[in-house]
Structure 1
Amino acid sequence: MKKLKCECGHVNPEGTVLCEACGKPIEENQHIDGNDKTKLINMRYDGSARRSLTYNRSIIDKIWSFFSSVKVGVWLIVIALFASALGTIFPQQMYIPAEAVSRDPAIYYEAHFGILGKIYYQLGFYDLYSSWWYMILIALIGISLVICSIDRVVPLHRALKMQKPKRHETFINRQRLYSESTNVSNEEKQQVVKKLEKLRYKVRSDDGHILAEKGRFSRWGPYVNHIGLIIILIASLFRMTPWLYLDDYVWVREGQQVVIPGTDNKYYIKNKEFILEKYDEDDEQFKDALELIESRGGEVHKNYQTNVIIYKNVDADLPGAEPKLEKVLEDKVWMNNPLKFDGYTLYQSGYQQNEFSSMSFKIHKTNDSDQEALETFTIDLTAPETEYEFESGFRVVMDKYYPEYYLDDGEPRSESKYPKNPAFVIFVYPPQTDSPEINFIGIGKNIDATGENKYKLGIVDFETHFASGMTLRQDYTLPFFGLGALIFMIGVVQGMYWQHRRIWIHPKDKSILLAAHTNKNWFGIKKDIEKAISDTAIQMVIDQQEVEGNEKNKEGHNG
Structure 2
Amino acid sequence: MENVKCECGHVNPFGTYLCESCGKPLIEDDGQVADMRYEGVARRSQTYKKSIVDKIWNFFSSVKVGIWIIVLLLLASSLGTILPQEMYLPPGERASQFYENEYGTFGKLYYQLGLHDMYTSWWYMALIAALGISLVICSLDRFVPLYRALKTQRITRHTKFLERQKLFAKSGQIENIEESFAQAEEILKKKKYNIRKDNGNILAEKGRFSRWGPYVNHIGLIIFLIGCMLRFFPEMYLDEHIWVRDGEEVVIKGTDGEYFLRNEEFKVVLYDEDDELYRESLERAGAPVVQKFQTSATLLRRTSTNAIGSEPELEEVKHHYIRVNDPLTFGEFALYQVDYKLNELAEFTFTIEAVDEANEEDLSEIEFTVNLYDPEMVYEFENGYRIEIMEYFPNFVINDNREPTTLNRIPDNPRIIFEVFTPEMDPDEDQGEISLVGIQINEELNGENDYRIRMIDVEMRNVTALTIRKDRTIPILSIGGIIFMIGLVQGSYWNHRRIWLQNRDGEIWVAGHANKNWHALKNDFQAITKNTAIPMPIDQTEENLNERSKEIEGVEDNNGSTKQ
Normalising by structure 2, we get a TM-score of 0.88
Task: Report what 2:553 is aligned to.
Answer: none
Given the alignment of the two structures, is residue 68 of structure 1 paired with residue 68 of structure 2, yes or no?
no
Given the alignment of the two structures, is residue 17 of structure 1 paired with residue 17 of structure 2, yes or no?
yes
* C-alpha contact 1:266 1:316 (8 A) present in aligned 2: no
Task: Report what 2:561 is aligned to.
Answer: none
Task: Report what 2:298 is aligned to.
Answer: 309
Distance change >3 Å, CA 406–CA 11, structure 1 → 2: closer
The residue correspondences of 1:378-417 to structure 2 (distance < 5 A) are 378-405=369-396, 414-417=406-409
Which amino acid in 2 is paired with 1:307?
S
Following the alignment from structure 1 to structure 2, what is the Cα–Cα distance between the partners of residues 543 and 421?
81
Following the alignment from structure 2 to structure 1, what is the Cα–Cα distance between the partners of residues 151 and 396?
77
Following the alignment from structure 1 to structure 2, what is the Cα–Cα distance between the partners of residues 317 and 388?
30
Following the alignment from structure 1 to structure 2, what is the Cα–Cα distance between the partners of residues 290 and 413?
42
Task: Report what 2:557 is aligned to.
Answer: none
Q: CA deviation at 1:140?
A: 2.0
Given the alignment of the two structures, is residue 270 of structure 1 paired with residue 262 of structure 2, yes or no?
yes
Indicate the larger mover: 461-470 or 395-404: 395-404
Gaps of 5+ in 1: 555-559
Task: Report what 1:157 is aligned to.
Answer: 147
Given the alignment of the two structures, is residue 348 of structure 1 paired with residue 337 of structure 2, yes or no?
yes
SS of 1:336's partner is coil
Task: Report what 2:164 is aligned to.
Answer: 174
Q: Deviations over 1:202-238 (max 9, x none)?
A: 1222112111110010000000001001101111110
Following the alignment from structure 1 to structure 2, what is the Cα–Cα distance between the partners of residues 416 and 288?
41
Given the alignment of the two structures, is residue 82 of structure 1 paired with residue 75 of structure 2, yes or no?
yes
Task: Report what 2:35 is aligned to.
Answer: 42
Q: 1:32 aligns with which of 25, 29, 32?
A: 29
Given the alignment of the two structures, is residue 419 of structure 1 paired with residue 411 of structure 2, yes or no?
yes
Task: Report what 1:557 is aligned to.
Answer: none
Which amino acid in 2 is paired with 1:32?
D
Distance change >3 Å, CA 315–CA 252, structure 1 → 2: same
SS of 1:46's partner is coil
* Number of residue pairs aligned between Structure 1 and Structure 2: 541
Which amino acid in 2 is paired with 1:220?
W
* C-alpha contact 1:499 1:518 (8 A) present in aligned 2: yes
Q: CA deviation at 1:90?
A: 3.4
Q: CA deviation at 1:317?
A: 10
Q: 1:246 aligns with which of 238, 249, 256?
A: 238
Distance change >3 Å, CA 5–CA 414, structure 1 → 2: closer
Distance change >3 Å, CA 67–CA 435, structure 1 → 2: closer
* C-alpha contact 2:380 2:386 (8 A) present in aligned 1: yes
Which amino acid in 2 is paired with 1:50?
R
Identical positions, percent? 48
Distance change >3 Å, CA 455–CA 188, structure 1 → 2: same
Given the alignment of the two structures, is residue 487 of structure 1 paired with residue 475 of structure 2, yes or no?
no
* C-alpha contact 2:91 2:410 (8 A) present in aligned 1: no
Following the alignment from structure 2 to structure 1, what is the Cα–Cα distance between the partners of residues 310 and 150?
66
* C-alpha contact 2:270 2:288 (8 A) present in aligned 1: no
* C-alpha contact 1:364 1:373 (8 A) present in aligned 2: yes
Indicate the larger mover: 1-10 or 482-491: 1-10
Q: 1:289 aligns with which of 263, 276, 281?
A: 281
Following the alignment from structure 1 to structure 2, what is the Cα–Cα distance between the partners of residues 299 and 336?
22
Q: CA deviation at 1:59?
A: 2.6
Q: CA deviation at 1:22?
A: 1.4
Q: CA deviation at 1:351?
A: 1.2
Following the alignment from structure 1 to structure 2, what is the Cα–Cα distance between the partners of residues 87 and 41?
47
Given the alignment of the two structures, is residue 129 of structure 1 paired with residue 113 of structure 2, yes or no?
no
Q: CA deviation at 1:241?
A: 0.5
Q: 2:197 aligns with which of 186, 193, 205?
A: 205
Q: CA deviation at 1:188?
A: 3.1
Indicate the larger mover: 215-224 or 158-167: 158-167
Q: 2:507 aligns with which of 511, 535, 548?
A: 511
Indicate the larger mover: 331-340 or 541-550: 541-550
Distance change >3 Å, CA 173–CA 89, structure 1 → 2: same
Q: CA deviation at 1:531?
A: 2.0
Q: Deviations over 1:335-393 (max 9, x none)?
A: 11001112111111111111122222222222439998543222222321122222333
Q: CA deviation at 1:93?
A: 3.0
Following the alignment from structure 1 to structure 2, what is the Cα–Cα distance between the partners of residues 364 and 150?
84
Task: Report what 1:334 is aligned to.
Answer: 323
Distance change >3 Å, CA 305–CA 531, structure 1 → 2: same
Q: CA deviation at 1:431?
A: 3.8
Q: CA deviation at 1:309?
A: 1.9
Distance change >3 Å, CA 57–CA 462, structure 1 → 2: closer
Which amino acid in 2 is paired with 1:340?
T
Q: CA deviation at 1:155?
A: 0.9
Q: 1:222 aligns with which of 203, 214, 230?
A: 214
Q: CA deviation at 1:549?
A: 6.5
Following the alignment from structure 1 to structure 2, what is the Cα–Cα distance between the partners of residues 190 and 217?
26
Q: Deviations over 1:130-183 (max 9, x none)?
A: 233332322222111111111111111111112332111111111101122234
Task: Report what 2:493 is aligned to.
Answer: 497
SS of 1:328's partner is strand
* C-alpha contact 1:184 1:538 (8 A) present in aligned 2: no
Following the alignment from structure 1 to structure 2, what is the Cα–Cα distance between the partners of residues 146 and 232?
13
Q: CA deviation at 1:85?
A: 3.1
SS of 1:384's partner is coil
Indicate the larger mover: 388-397 or 426-435: 426-435
Task: Report what 2:455 is aligned to.
Answer: 459
Normalising by structure 1, we get a TM-score of 0.89
Following the alignment from structure 1 to structure 2, what is the Cα–Cα distance between the partners of residues 88 and 552?
57
* C-alpha contact 1:354 1:420 (8 A) present in aligned 2: no
Q: Deviations over 1:248-271 (max 9, x none)?
A: 111111111122223332222111
SS of 1:379's partner is strand
* C-alpha contact 1:265 1:316 (8 A) present in aligned 2: no
Task: Report what 2:348 is aligned to.
Answer: 359
Q: CA deviation at 1:428?
A: 2.7
Task: Report what 2:554 is aligned to.
Answer: none
Q: CA deviation at 1:492?
A: 0.3
Following the alignment from structure 1 to structure 2, what is the Cα–Cα distance between the partners of residues 524 and 318?
78
Which amino acid in 1 is paired with 2:373?
T
Which amino acid in 2 is paired with 1:96?
L
Distance change >3 Å, CA 16–CA 320, structure 1 → 2: farther
SS of 1:456's partner is strand
Following the alignment from structure 2 to structure 1, what is the Cα–Cα distance between the partners of residues 537 and 335?
66
Q: Deviations over 1:298-331 (max 9, x none)?
A: 5421221112222223556998776343333222
Following the alignment from structure 2 to structure 1, what is the Cα–Cα distance between the partners of residues 390 and 280?
51
* C-alpha contact 1:24 1:170 (8 A) present in aligned 2: yes
Distance change >3 Å, CA 405–CA 287, structure 1 → 2: farther
Following the alignment from structure 1 to structure 2, what is the Cα–Cα distance between the partners of residues 337 and 249?
16
Q: Deviations over 1:448-477 (max 9, x none)?
A: 446733322322222211111111011101
Following the alignment from structure 1 to structure 2, what is the Cα–Cα distance between the partners of residues 553 and 415?
83
Given the alignment of the two structures, is residue 535 of structure 1 paired with residue 531 of structure 2, yes or no?
yes
